[in-house]
Amino acid sequence: MKLFKLATTVCCMALMSVALAPGAKADEWNRKTVVTFSRSVEIPGVHLAGWGVLPAGTYVFKIMDSQSDRHIVQIFSQDEKTIYATILAIPNYRLQATDKTVITFRERPAGEPEALRAWFYPGRTSGEEFVYPKAKAIALAKATNTPVLFTPAEIPLEVAEPIKSADEPVVVELKRAPVMAIKPTGEEVQLAEVVSPLPSQVETGVMPATLPDTASRLPVIGLFGLIAMVGAFAFRMGAKRLQ
């Protein structure tokens, strides 16, 4: 998958401090991860009424449900008793995995909370690129000058009660909702125009160290042959001068 502008991501990570201690808790089966935000963070997806922006504090991220091409991510309170948001996400990739959780953000104007962009679990090159509602995606794309994923489906943004089951109607809608991208110009494009699978060697963070078998070696052989011919000619000329 193509990564959206790396420079923007790096800047956003520098601007927004996320405390992820060396021992940050993470569970492999649902990728449970404890994250502490030092500032308020705007979140996409279906959120508990009044919680579209999370204040600074500690939260728990988990995968609620996963399919081949999309995941459902939930954000909990630190004690995991309250579910603040249920978010649709599309696989995103980085070139190299790290041993720590990485959260990336979209830069916002001064005074506005950073917007959550992606979540990478420790040891994985694949992560979660969060999908925004259309109106918010348009605003973010213009503000950050990068494409933003969105769904045109009419899904409620707030719920009165936390979503606790993958069978609830809202979750079912998220699973089948179409996903597109909006460019800074406001143009809507298909997901494939801004997102595409990475080669397997990039997904694992390992780049090939040798030429593939299909690569031609004829130019190299020809070069060595030319050097040998020049050397033989020089040797013959030198031998004639000594006679």
Amino acid 224: pLDDT: 41
**194 falls within a domain:** yes
**225 falls within a domain:** no
**160 falls within a domain:** yes
**211 falls within a domain:** no
- Which residue matches tokens 């000329």? 237
**112 falls within a domain:** yes
CA–CA separation, 184 vs 145, rounded Å? 5
How many domains does one find in the chain? 1
Q: What is the pLDDT of residues 69-108, one digit of tens each?
A: 678 999 999 999 999 999 999 888 877 888 889 999 987 8
Q: What are phi and psi of 143, to 5 degrees?
A: -70, -35
**240 falls within a domain:** no
For the four alpha carbons of 195, 198, 204 and 209, in that order, the dihedral sign comes to negative
**217 falls within a domain:** no
**53 falls within a domain:** yes
Domain that holds residue 174: 6-203
Q: Which residues of the chain have pLDDT under 70?
A: 1-27, 68-69, 196-243
